[in-house]
Amino acid sequence: MSEVVCPHCHKAFQVDEAGYAQLLMQVRDQELEKQVHERLRLAEAEKHAAVGLVKAQLASELQQAAADKDRQIQALQAELQSGDVAQQLAVSQAVADMAKERDTLAHRLEQAQHQARVERELMQANLLVQSQQAAAEKDAQIQTLQAKLQAGDIAKQLAEQALRDKYETQIKDREETIDRLKDWRAKLSTKMVGETLEQHCEIEFNRLRATAFTRAYFEKDNDASSGSKGDYIFRDNDEAGQEIVSIMFEMKNESEGGGVKHKNESFFKELDKDRNEKNCEYAVLVSTLEPDNELYNGGIVDVSHRYPKMYVIRPQFFIPIITLLRNAAMGAMQYKTELALVKSQNIDVTRFEDQLESFKTGFARNYDLASRQFVQAIDEIDKSMKHLQATKDALLKSVNNLRLANDKAQEVTIKRLIRGNATMKAKFDAIGPPPAASDDAQ
């Protein structure tokens, strides 16, 4: 934008580059035309002055010659009156010479007038050629400015497109991040790329089998003699071969339901039946069903109020539930051994019951701490998602503001700027309408 100051009211107003270029071209054309007319006027005046001067000089010479001849004629006439024939002949000869000289001066005057007319025509032709050259230069300047204006419009469009692509890419990245976080929150960081839920759990267990579960059994339940079967059975024994803990696992993936959305509680009864038929102590449902249910997303869910010793977990708690149940069972086995020893020695079992209650209390406290930490982690995930959503909204608002600013810039014209300003309107009316190419540029 350029600032223009009115020479009369001294008021400044803003015009864009296209309008400013039009003003410069119009003022330059008007000044050029004014200079051409001024030069023609001066040349015409000079020619008139030269012709007048030549005429005056010739008239003066003729008058002087006529006066001289008149004096000579009077002298000759005076001599003629004396009766001398010779003098009459001399007078006749002098008259003839005077007439010849007069004709010569008249011819010189005519030649001077012709030469002045030719020079004036040459001057006019030169001025016409100069004006045509100036017009050609003006057209070339207009074409150059139009090319620059078109190049500027193309650059502006490319910049706008680049800016739009940049913000669209950022918005797309934010949306992908939000979708990824939602998916991670729904699946709770389960890494099942191209795997089923059963394969995922088996792989996770086999990673720790050699170090943490050296004497454990974890295989698929292939015994369907009772009419149904679970997915996997876990059994762990001590060094003496005595069973520490046994767990019946059922895996339910959300994709297995097809178009019908199942609920976790739909599988509790069948899982409890499989647990009892296979003589397992615990039953665990590993599920990705109901991904938006905050109860199941909160951690390990105890559903013993519905079916005894049954838990529902998300896949990432598969290893932790095995560890917790095995450690609890190992502690119980220790107390069972001590109880048998106490009974054999006829010792009061009150101490054993207190220790058992202490263990149960400690286990419940650790479970409560783990659950609260898990809920806290879920809250942090929610906060991150809200922050990313706010960033996305801000970027969308920024793109909208840029679009509005561009629309306002496109609406700025010379007519809008001079509206209500009589002085500038009169100036622009005096200059005349801008070229057609300038309207396209606006």
Q: What is the pLDDT of residues 28-41, one digit of tens each?
A: 777 777 777 787 88
Query: pLDDT value at position 3?
Result: 67
Is the pLDDT at 356 greater than 80? The verdict is no
Q: Both 304 and 423 in a single domain? A: no
Residue 310 inside a domain? The answer is yes
Which one, of 213, 245, 199, lies nearest residue 319 by Cα?
213
On the question of pLDDT at 90 being above 70, the answer is no
Say yes or no to pLDDT of 280 above 90.
Answer: yes
Residues 126-140, mean pLDDT to the nearest whole number: 75
Amino acid at 269: K
- 128 in the same domain as 44: yes
Distance CA 133, CA 16 (A): 29
- Do 246 and 316 fall into the same domain? yes
| Same structural domain, 319 and 424 | no
Hey, which of 29-38, 120-129, 277-286 has the most confident mean pLDDT?
277-286
What pLDDT is stored for residue 301 in this prediction?
94
**118 located within any domain:** yes
Residue 304, pLDDT score: 92
Tell me which of 266, 292, 327 is where a domain ends.
327
pLDDT at 87 over 70: no
Residue 385 lies in a domain: no
In a domain, 295, yes or no: yes
- What does the pLDDT average to over 312-321? 92
Q: Is residue 185 part of a domain?
A: no
pTM reported for the whole predicted model: 0.37
Claim to verify: residue 206 and residue 316 sit in the same structural domain: yes
Q: Does 54 fall in a domain?
A: yes
pLDDT at 402: 77
Q: Considering only 130-134, 355-359, 395-399, which range has the smallest mean pLDDT?
A: 130-134
pLDDT at 375 over 70: yes
| Alpha-carbon gap, residue 194 to 199, rounded angstroms | 10
Give the number of domains in the chain: 2
388 part of a folded domain: no
What is the Cα Rg of the chain in Å?
57
Whose tokens are 């190419």? That residue is 437
Averaged pLDDT score across all residues of the chain: 78
Please identify, among 302, 327, 352, the residue that sits at the C-terminal boundary of a domain: 327
Higher pLDDT, 103 or 80: 103
pLDDT at 312 over 90: yes
- 21 or 176, which is more confident? 176
Tokens at 363, concatenated = 């286990």
The residue ranking higher by pLDDT, 227 or 175, is 175
Same domain, 129 and 27: yes
- Specify if 214 maps to a domain: yes
The CA distance from 2 to 408, in Å, is 17
Q: Which domain holds residue 101?
A: 14-137+416-436
Distance CA 280, CA 266 (A): 20
What percent of the chain shows pLDDT beyond 70? 82
Per-residue pLDDT at 355 exceeds 50: yes
What pLDDT is attached to residue 184?
A: 58
Q: Which of 327, 348, 381 is the last residue of a domain?
A: 327
Mean pLDDT of 165-194: 66
Structure token pair of residue 11: 């008021």
